[in-house]
Copies of this chain bind each other. A is one copy, B any other.
Amino acid sequence: MSQAGSGIDLPTSVGYLLKQASSALRTAMDEALRPLGMTITHYSCLELLAQRPGLSNSELARGAFVTRQSMNVLLQALERAGEVTRPDVAPSGRVLPVTLTDRGRRTLAQASAAVRAVELRMLAGLSDREQQEARRILAGLVDALAAPAPTTG
């Protein structure tokens, strides 16, 4: 009977549990990636590029859930480090397609293994059916939040 109507009961709030799970995953991934000298955004960028070569800065930003400004800062560092490449001039419009280099692929291979271990650990207690249910529910939450707020739209 706590917080009757006025607030949000944290321990049972789906939003709070979502943040808690996300925070735990973030911590675990950070710990797995730290020995490799990588951040989560760094890894996400490389993984995105491996699966969809030629993605633009803005597309990478959306895929990694950061702003395109933040992704641009990262891409400049990755270019200097020789993990990705961007053409000097845009082939079309303003979009600069980003490509993984061999060095980038090698870096990703290590990171991907580390992250894979974390994901497997996270899913250890869930049956295949529960994993499917998790995907379905999480996708549902994303869809529901994608709709604009009543007051805004």
Contacts and interface: CB of A to CB of B under 8 A. Distances in A.
Interface of A: 2-3, 6-10, 12-15, 17-25, 27-29, 31-32, 47-48, 50-51, 63, 65, 108-109, 112, 115-119, 121-126, 130-131, 133-135, 137-147, 149-152
B122 A141 contact: yes
A contact patch SS: helix
A141 B6 CA distance: 29
Contact of A149 (B50, B117, B130, B143): B117
A109 B6 contact: yes
Nearest to A11: B51
Given A137-B137, A138-B21, A149 B32 contact: yes
